[in-house]
Copies of this chain bind each other. A is one copy, B any other.
Amino acid sequence: MKRERGILIVLSGPSGSGKSTVISELLKRRDDIRFSVSATTRAPRPGETDGKDYYFIGRDQFARMADQGAFLEHAEYVGNRYGTPAGPVDENLNAGYNVLLDIEVQGAAQVLKKRPDAVSVFLCPPSLAELERRLRGRGTDPEDKIKSRLDTARREYEQAKNYAYIVVNDDADTAAAELDAIITAGLCRSGERLKSIQEGVISI
């Protein structure tokens, strides 16, 4: 039987949100998740595999793809271009996998503009107070560095309201359970379900 089409999940979280632990807990719960692989113009580093860590492509090809709208989002950092190619994402979605895009806030905003049906989740560390406690607890950082990191965290929190969902990572397992539920709910959205019904994947 054909599987229901998957959904695109856009996940952002500031540094310190514990995103990688939450993702690894999520993968214990679901086997229908695939990750998006980014394309980049930078040279591969030792140990990096093309098509797994990144798609390593030339600047000309990158520019052509950008012109053709082949990226869900793209940006330039320190002279190299990075982008999320739509093709592999759509192949996975069509095959019935849910595609997780682990991406910072500006890239997320670009993706959500192109794919308003994507489910967006902002992952928060437990609290600013807790972050401050951790930073001061180290007893190594100068006051201005602590202040600057707290300011960055506050600015990133400001973006949380632009996401459909906020998961607060008090506990990685609870946060993963919430992310799991958000994905299941995403698949139950009436737009998705009516498409599956029309395509005969589900019959009513």
Give the oligomeric copy count: 2
The CA-CA distance from A98 to B74 in the complex, in Å, is 41
Total residues of chain A contacting the partner, CB 8 A? 33
**Does A49 lie at the interface of the complex (its beta carbon under 8 Å from any beta carbon of B)?**
no
Interface string of A8-27 (1 = CB under 8 A from B): 00000000000000000000
**Does A148 lie at the interface of the complex (its beta carbon under 8 Å from any beta carbon of B)?**
no
Contact of A181 among B122, B126, B163, B184 (CB under 8 A): B184
**Does A177 lie at the interface of the complex (its beta carbon under 8 Å from any beta carbon of B)?**
yes
Contact, CB under 8 Å: A181 / B188: yes
**Does A146 lie at the interface of the complex (its beta carbon under 8 Å from any beta carbon of B)?**
no
**Does A105 lie at the interface of the complex (its beta carbon under 8 Å from any beta carbon of B)?**
no
- A selection of 9 A-B contacts at a CB cut-off of 8 Å is A127-B203, A161-B190, A165-B189, A165-B193, A166-B188, A166-B194, A168-B193, A177-B184, A178-B185
Q: Which 3 pairs of residues, A with B, have the shortest CB-CB distance?
A: A185-B185, A181-B184, A166-B193
